[in-house]
Amino acid sequence: MSTTRGLEGIVATTSSVSSIIDSVLTYQGYDIDDLADNASFEEVIYLLWNGDLPKKDELTQFTQQLADHAEIPNEIIEQMKALPLDKVHPMAALRTAVSSLALFDEQADVMEEEANRLKAVKIQAQIPTIVAAFSRLRDGLEPVSPRNDLSFAANFLYMLTGEEPDEIAVNALNKALVLHADHELNASTFTARVCVATLSDVYSGMTAAIGALKGPLHGGANEGVMKMLTEIDTIENVEPYIRKALDNKEKIMGFGHRVYKNGDPRAKHLREMSKRLTEITGEPKWYEMSVKIDKMITEEKGLLPNVDFYSASVYHSLGFAHDLFTPIFAVSRTSGWLAHILEQYSNNRLIRPRAEYVGHDKRSYVPVEQR
């Protein structure tokens, strides 16, 4: 048996949800550049789940369906209130809340396709409500109920702040959601597929995926980038800070990628958004520091920024708390996880690879007194 560390280069499934070919990312055949410039997040969710962009009436119906399911059970809010709110990371709270949602869905274990599709709508609609409610509760505020007359992005911002957001913020968040929606067999999506391939339920797959996204080598990197930017704080500090980190062989969050070796096609959109938004907020330093770090890491390590690097200054400019960055990634990636979960169910086989054994040779049990 031979092994490939981290399954690098292993093709583990077929999928028609998204593809990365020659560094070009497509969702159901549509180039991410095209979607980022034109599509609403609602259209992208529909596309990922159904294989085609919705017609006008299909989009109206789908958007309404999402809005109709955005409320979360009161028990979930009560459960969140009981958490040690000043200590809990919002990704941990989200993981627990999504697991708990299953307990209030009588159809949680019903495996028919129609029931699973309805669960997908509910989960996609409820995850932003959970993230916003948690954020408000820990700030000592009551959760804000979702509104059904706002777009997905606008409603999320509204539930976070209790105020109607401006168009610039809504468009920026919409674009970020589109850019993060799916990404072939990334670690969290693979996790979701492994989980549901045992014919476990959708909520279990989602809970597993959230756990995988949380890690700093994956979705957690966007929070790590902002931590680094905050520590650096000034443009003059970039050079000594990064030099020291590289000398200490530290990983620089937001750089490198398992698949993209010539650059992540999503990063240029986020870089442009970071430039524009930091100008609007009057804090161009976050963009300027990012560009300087980008230049240094590219020149010295040959590593390019991934989706998490410029999204940090984008989310900061949109006023999000830094530990909400990864949950916001999860709000978007939920659409991809659910598309892959539905695809896995539709053509399922248990996912069970092998391990090459490198442990002790065979030996015999020794009673405890003789060890």
Is 32 a binder of ligand ACO (CB under 6 A)? no
Q: Cβ–Cβ contacts within 10 Å for residue 238, how many? A: 21
Q: Which does 43 bind (CB under 5 to 8 A by kind): ligand OAA, ligand ACO, none?
A: none
Which tokens belong to 290? 């990012």
By a kind-dependent CB cut-off of 5 to 8 A, residue 256 interacts, out of ligand ACO, ligand OAA, none, with: ligand ACO
Compute CA distances 351 → 18, 44, 101, 188, 196, whole Å: 20, 28, 26, 15, 9
* CA angle at 311 for the pair 193 and 93, rounded to the nearest 5°: 55
Cβ neighbourhood burial of 244 (10 Å; 0-12, 13-18, 19+): exposed
Determine, following the binding rule CB under 6 A, whether residue 183 of this chain makes contact with ligand OAA.
yes
Binding test (CB under 6 A) with ligand ACO, winner from 143, 165, 219, 336 = 219
The CA distance from 301 to 295, in Å, is 10
Residue 187 main-chain phi, psi, to 5 deg: -60, -40
Q: How far is the CB of 279 from ligand OAA (least distance, A)?
A: 26
Active site residue: 105, 264, 294, 308, which one? Answer: 308
Q: Which of 183, 218, 257, 269 is catalytic?
A: 257
Nearer residue to ligand ACO within complex by CB, 170 or 232: 232
Q: Which of residues 239-298 bind ligand OAA (CB under 6 A)?
A: 257-259
Instruction: Tell me whether residue 255 or residue 287 sits nearer to ligand OAA (CB atom).
Output: 255
- Report d(CA 93, CA 72) in Å as an integer: 14
Question: From the list ligand ACO, ligand OAA, none, which binds 217 (C-beta under 5 to 8 Å, kind-based)?
Answer: ligand ACO
Return the number of the residue (54 or 327) whose C-beta is nearest ligand ACO: 327
Nearer to ligand OAA among residue 242 and residue 307 (C-beta): 307
In angstroms, the Cα distances linking 218 to 3, 63, 90, 273, 348 are: 22, 29, 16, 21, 26
**Which CB atom, from 147 or from 258, has the smaller least distance to ligand ACO?**
258
Considering only CA atoms, which of 320, 155, 184 is closest in space to residue 257? 184
Active site annotation includes 308: yes
Binder of ligand ACO out of 76, 252, 293, 331 (CB under 6 A): 252
Distance of alpha carbon 38 from alpha carbon 59, whole angstroms:
15
Q: Contacts with ligand ACO in 302-331 (CB under 6 A)? A: 303, 306-308
CA distance 270 to 255: 14
Q: Which stretch binds ligand ACO (CB under 6 A): 201-209, 271-279, 298-306, 342-350?
A: 298-306
| Minimum separation from the CB atom of position 224 to ligand OAA (A) | 14
Closest CA to 35 of 263, 266, 218, 222: 266
Q: Which does 255 bind (CB under 5 to 8 A by kind): ligand OAA, ligand ACO, none?
A: ligand ACO
Q: Is 166 a catalytic residue?
A: no
Q: Which residues contact 230 (CB under 8 A, 6 or more apart)?
A: 322
Minimum distance from residue 10 beta carbon to ligand OAA (Å): 13
Tell me the site size for ligand OAA, rule CB under 6 A.
7
Residues 6+ apart with CB under 8 A from 308: 219, 221, 222, 224, 225, 253, 254, 329
Please give the residue ranges that form the binding site for ligand OAA (CB under 6 A): 183, 186, 257-259, 306-307
Active-site residues, by number, are 257, 308
